[in-house]
Structure 1
């Protein structure tokens, strides 16, 4: 019994859970990112309190914070849930279709000849121009809003996807062909990894436009959502509600972009690229 316990104790110590490593440099960068918003809020608070800006046009940040607290105790979460669901559905549909068409056009000049002129014309149409048409075709329910958001997410992902594929170094493709890669293996082993940076740029741009198109959809015909909250604040002459809704949209947009950025860092951790510090990024194992 004693021998077993002696043999077991080192194993237990070796298998103890490791605490996550804290990166001080990353936290310093995040704190620096908060400097400008905090400075803007402080200046606005002072300017409004001194009477240089009328409070009925620009409420003080402290008043907006109180409004956010009141909304959080009421219907704010219902509006956030409705908007978030619409954005996720629209982005998934638009980005998914965009990746399919980007791969098709990027790998085929014939597909580009058929599709690119039409897509070039469609992406120049303003978002608000689609709203009355979708209301006539799809009504005022969720379908028209999701379709509008999907259109907003489609074109940035499509454009960046095609550009990412077409900008792949030809030598990489030739190396794959020399090793006898078939078309499917060439796409999986060479084209997709090389195109991922451009694809993530498109996905992050598409997510930003999805939030913009959401507001366009909810301002026209909605009974809940952050766009409806904006419209309600305007109709009731409550700039604090309007600004509170804008702040929530900014926070949600930043959060969704951060999720994609984190996924990008994880999937592209193999790259050795310039990171803005005057040298190449060095990978260290935790």
Structure 2
């Protein structure tokens, strides 16, 4: 008798856990609450969750949170929009043309090795400390992952599909729509997930450089007055925005790539 059952469960992570993405944050919140209630955390070092909730209510009541959130979202949205557009166009040029790859890929790989935040002093000299510098910094942090993963997606298209398109003499527009774009879509969406996170990471930094508005400015002002609760509100808000943004892209990814079966399904 064989020791291996024909109905043995295959290796893999199994079915997704309902609301599994919320399990980690809820557990972290529980640990934070218990540590604060037992006095293990000094309120001057890290405010208790209930204090943060109360502070959030006060900030909403006087309108400061909404105003600063709207400005931060606008900056992140513009940087994300420009970065995704630039990264996608450059990836198409480089991925579909050997000359384009020879000209573009090297400089972009150099940019990849240089953190966007390291360019801030130079961007300040070029653009000043206004909105242009902030949006440009976010754009530089966004376009590289979009380019890298979209380019890899293009280069990873099965050559049999390309040969099929050539044998059918597809027009350029049809070839791009039927073969190139579907082949590049998985890489593009993966790059977009990294891009949305990078947009919020860059925003955190640029908003603390001589800003007069935004969540980062609100946190920097709170630091000067020792208001730990407001700083934590800003950190939680950044975290929630990043989590929701990534979740939105993952939802689009799951819907757009229903034809792909992976261990995550």
TM norm structure 2? 0.88
State the shift of 1:97 in Å: 0.8
Cα distance in 1, alignment partners of residues 228 and 95 from structure 2? 46
TM norm structure 1? 0.82
Instruction: Specify the alignment match of 2:60 in structure 1.
Output: 72
Deviations 1:149-184 (A, max 9, x none): 110111000000100000111111111112111333
Cα distance in 2, alignment partners of residues 156 and 182 from structure 1? 30
Deviations 1:240-263 (A, max 9, x none): 111110111111122222332233
Instruction: Specify the alignment match of 1:237 in structure 2.
Output: 226
1:97 aligns with 2:62: no
More moved, 143-152 vs 32-41: 32-41
Instruction: Specify the alignment match of 1:266 in structure 2.
Output: 255
Q: Give the count of matched residue pairs.
A: 250
Cα distance in 2, alignment partners of residues 229 and 220 from structure 1? 12
1:250 aligns with 2:224: no
Cα distance in 2, alignment partners of residues 272 and 197 from structure 1? 9
Alignment equivalent of 1:181, drawn from 151, 163, 170: 170
Could you tell me which runs of 5 or more consecutive residues in structure 2 were left unpaired when the two chains were aligned.
1-14
Instruction: Specify the alignment match of 1:200 in structure 2.
Output: 189
Contact between 2:117 and 2:137, CA under 8 Å: does it hold in 1?
Answer: no
Cα distance in 2, alignment partners of residues 76 and 87 from structure 1? 16
State the shift of 1:275 in Å: 4.4
Contact between 1:127 and 1:216, CA under 8 Å: does it hold in 2?
Answer: no
State the shift of 1:117 in Å: 1.6
1:46 aligns with 2:15: no
Alignment equivalent of 1:132, drawn from 109, 121, 124: 121
Instruction: Specify the alignment match of 2:153 in structure 1.
Output: 164
Instruction: Specify the alignment match of 1:20 in structure 2.
Output: none
SS in 2 for 1:84: helix
Cα distance in 2, alignment partners of residues 276 and 201 from structure 1? 14
Cα distance in 2, alignment partners of residues 80 and 33 from structure 1? 24
Cα distance in 2, alignment partners of residues 121 and 106 from structure 1? 17
More moved, 144-153 vs 174-183: 174-183
State the shift of 1:56 in Å: 0.9
Instruction: Specify the alignment match of 1:108 in structure 2.
Output: 97
Contact between 1:79 and 1:224, CA under 8 Å: does it hold in 2?
Answer: yes
Structural mapping, 1:219-238, within 5 Å: 219-238=208-227
State the shift of 1:233 in Å: 2.2
> In angstroms, what is the RMSD of aligned CA positions?
1.7
Alignment equivalent of 2:44, drawn from 43, 52, 56: 56
More moved, 182-191 vs 194-203: 182-191
Cα distance in 1, alignment partners of residues 139 and 116 from structure 2? 11
1:123 aligns with 2:103: no
Cα distance in 2, alignment partners of residues 40 and 177 from structure 1? 54
